[in-house]
Amino acid sequence: MLNEYDQSLYDGLTEQLQKSLDHFNSELGSVRAGRANPRLLDKIMVDYYGTMTPLNQMANISAPDPRTIAVSLWDISQLKEVLKAIQASDLGLNPSDDGKVIRLFVPAPTEERRLELVKMVRKFAEDTRVTMRNGRRDCLDEFKKLKNDKKITEDEMKTAENEVQKILNSFTDKVEKLLEQKEKEITEV
C-alpha cells in the first residue's frame, strides 16, 4: 500500500524527469535546422546598460518567412549592442539592419552540416536519457533506504522498482519521439 512518502518519491521523480524533458526540448529548439525559428535566438545575451539581458526580453522576434528571422527592438538605441551579440554568438548568422529591424537570413544547411546537427541532437538525447536514469537510480536508492529501515517489504520494493521503471519508460519514449521529429526536420531538404 502506498503511503504519502512513497507517493512523494514518485512525484519527485516525475517532476525531475519532466524538467529533463523540458530542457531537452529547449535544446532542440536552439538547433538550427535550416528553417527560421525565433527560438534560435533564445540563448543570446545582450549587454543592456551594463546588465546581461536575454535578447527575447528586449525585442519582438518573429519568422516572417521560412528563411528569415526579424528582430524588432523595443529600445532602438541598443541596435549596435544587439548586432554585436548576434555576431558573437555561435549561430553563424550575419545580421542586416535597416535602422529599426534586424533581419537574419537562415541559409539551408549543407549535407555535411545536417549530419553534424543530427549527431549533436542525438548527443543531447543521450545526455537527457543519462540524466533521467540517474533520477531513477536516486529514487530507487530512497526506496532501498526504506526497505533497509524495514518501512517497506520486499514485495513493496519490487512494486516500487516496477513503477519507477514505468515512469522512466514513459519519459524516455517522449525523448525518442522528440528526437525522431527533430532528426526528420533536420534531414528534410
The answer to whether 117 and 31 are in contact (CB under 8 A) is yes
Strands (E), the chain: 45-48, 51-54, 59-65, 68-73, 95-97, 101-105
The confidence score (pLDDT) of residue 5 equals 67
Residue ranges of the chain whose pLDDT lies below 70: 1-5, 32-34, 189
The confidence score (pLDDT) of residue 174 equals 95
CA 178 to each of CA 21, 60, 124: distance values in angstroms, whole numbers, following the listed order: 9, 27, 11
C-alpha cell belonging to residue 157: 520494493
In sequence order, which residues have a C-beta less than 8 Å from that of residue 18 and are 6 or more positions away?
Answer: 171
The confidence score (pLDDT) of residue 51 equals 86
pLDDT digits (tens, 9 = 90+) for 67-122: 888 989 888 888 888 888 888 887 777 888 888 888 888 777 788 888 888 998 99
Q: How far apart are CA 141 and CA 135, in angstroms?
A: 10
* Nearest to 129, CA basis, from 168, 177, 89: 168
The separation between CA 80 and the C-alpha centre of its own chain, rounded to angstroms, equals 29
Residue 71, φ and ψ in degrees, nearest 5: -120, 115
Cell numbers 523540458: residue? 22
C-alpha cell belonging to residue 168: 522512466
Q: Any idea what DSSP says for residue 107?
A: P
* Domains with residue ranges and CATH for the chain: 4-30+110-187 (1.10.132.20), 38-105 (3.30.1360.40)
Q: Which pTM value belongs to this model?
A: 0.70
- CA-CA-CA-CA torsion for 155, 160, 162, 168, nearest 10 degrees? -170
